[in-house]
Amino acid sequence: MTDIRYHDLPDGRRIAFRLAEPSPDNARPTLVFLPGYMSDMAGGKATALFDHCAGTGRGCLLMDYSGCGQSSGDFADGTLGRWRDEVLALIDAHVAGPVLVVGSSMGGWLMLMVGMALGQRLAGLVGIASAPDFTDWDRSGEDKETLGRGETVFDPNPYGPEPTPMHPGFFADGQDNLLLGSPIPVTCPVRLLHGQADADVPWETSLRLADALESRDVVVTLVKGGDHRLSREEDIARLIAIVEDAA
């Protein structure tokens, strides 16, 4: 991770990113990877995709949202809208031409918001255990009341010793950006990958997303026995093949 660079935003935020420039003879859309909630660009899927792109001459952009990884800021200030704008700022500054957006878990919600904002530059979407609207379907009524009062809710963390926080700002912004209840105006090719043993995001969420998308070119791949992370060797190989097929 020694090739990390920083993009400075007007308000002082420093966004860490890695960029593989496309080779001169490679005209394929640049891949932009969006990690999940409290994740960063050092994860296995992000690194594998970056290495694959770099090895094949394809452009690839990885980044850490503000408050995550090596970017500046406080995670408690993070929202979908704030992170969407950071993604778009990096794309505008560092990527030329069409873009293939790949989103993991929460990144699968963010990829839809980014994709809608990209317009004609959007060449395709690939969602991995996509979790749009999880502030709604993954929260109890009691949690929603707590968050609505401006209090943070802490959840058990299966991946580490510290509980996972959901802050009221993120919750409110998520509720303002719910997508599954109406048609999603995305018409590019979309590929959705989901493990059927996912204990965090029900695999049926990808089917709901497929139904909501206006695109006529949507393929859902369900992996029997696959967990939420889908980071096994065979999962990574499948993901790379799906990315190559998408755009």
Per-residue confidence at 157, pLDDT binned at 50, 70, 90?
confident
Give the pLDDT of residue 161.
Answer: 82
Catalytic residue among 104, 206, 228, 235: 228
Strands 5-8 and 14-20: antiparallel
- Provide the 8-state DSSP code for 22: P
State percent of the chain over pLDDT 90.
96
105 is catalytic: yes
Give the pLDDT of residue 168.
Answer: 98
Q: Work out the average pLDDT over 118-146.
A: 97
Give the pLDDT of residue 203.
Answer: 98
DSSP 92-144: HHH--S-EEEEEETHHHHHHHHHHHHHGGGEEEEEEES--TTHHHHTS-HHHH
Give the pLDDT of residue 160.
Answer: 78
Catalytic residue among 40, 64, 173, 198: 198
Residues 6+ apart with CB under 8 A from 59: 19, 20, 21, 22, 26, 28, 29, 30, 31, 53, 95
Give the pLDDT of residue 212.
Answer: 98
Report the mean per-residue pLDDT for the chain: 96
94 is catalytic: no
Q: Please, which residues bridge with residue 62 across strands?
A: 18
198 is catalytic: yes
CA pair distance 91, 44, nearest whole angstrom: 22
Q: Work out the average pLDDT over 121-132.
A: 98
Residue pair 13/71 in contact (Cβ under 8 Å)? The answer is yes
Per-residue confidence at 196, pLDDT binned at 50, 70, 90?
very high
State percent of the chain over pLDDT 70.
99
Helix (H) or strand (E) holding 203: none
pTM: 0.96
Per-residue confidence at 162, pLDDT binned at 50, 70, 90?
confident
Is residue 1's pLDDT more than 70? no
- Minimum mean pLDDT among 29-38, 88-97, 160-169: which range? 160-169
For 194-222, b where at least 16 C-beta lie within 10 A, e where not — what string? bbeebebbbbebbebbbebbeeeebebee
Residue pair 99/91 in contact (Cβ under 8 Å)? The answer is yes
Q: Work out the average pLDDT over 200-219.
A: 98
The count of other CB atoms within 10 Å of the CB of residue 86 is 24
Q: Work out the average pLDDT over 79-101.
A: 98
Q: Work out the average pLDDT over 4-29.
A: 96
CA pair distance 17, 133, nearest whole angstrom: 26
Give the pLDDT of residue 2.
Answer: 59
Q: List, in sequence order, every beta strand (DSSP E) within the chain.
A: 5-8, 14-20, 30-34, 60-63, 99-104, 122-128, 153-155, 164-166, 190-195, 218-223
Q: Work out the average pLDDT over 50-73.
A: 97
Q: Please report the domains of the chain, with CATH numbers, ordered by start residue.
A: 5-246 (3.40.50.1820)
Q: Please, which residues bridge with residue 165 across strands?
A: 154
Catalytic residue among 39, 66, 104, 105: 105
